[in-house]
Amino acid sequence: MPSKSDKIVVVFHADGCHHCHEYLPRFRRVAVRYRPFIAIKSVKLTNANAKLLDQYKIDAFPTTCILSADEKVLKRAVGALDEKQIAALFEKACG
């Protein structure tokens, strides 16, 4: 693995989203392996942070993004990815 990346992996999710409830535990299982190498965030949609939907162009849940250090979206994956797809996303973010 490389040294600490300046990228951030963020998963956007919402309460009441069946796919999110299935996805988040899977995402966390994979994320724990990458935590030493990359910043990881989980953002639950609330009224207080609804502006993030526009900022990151989130129109479906769950959505997982790789962000640059200045928070520009470098890669976006929509839907409940499987563990192999999640790991590939983290590998891309660490590379």
Residue 2 covered by a domain:
no
pLDDT at 4: 80
In total, how many domains does the chain have?
Answer: 1
Residues with pLDDT less than 50, the chain? 1-2
How many Å apart are CA 4 and CA 38, to the nearest integer? 6
Domain CATH for 52: 3.40.30.10
- Residue 52 inside a domain? The answer is yes
Amino acid at 60: A
Q: Does some domain include residue 16?
A: yes
Where in the sequence is the domain holding 82, given as residue range(s)?
8-94
Quick check: is 1 in a domain? Answer: no
pLDDT number for residue 1: 45
- Of 34, 54, 42, nearest to 12 by C-alpha is 42
> CA-to-CA distance for 30 and 85, rounded, in angstroms?
10
pLDDT at 19: 97
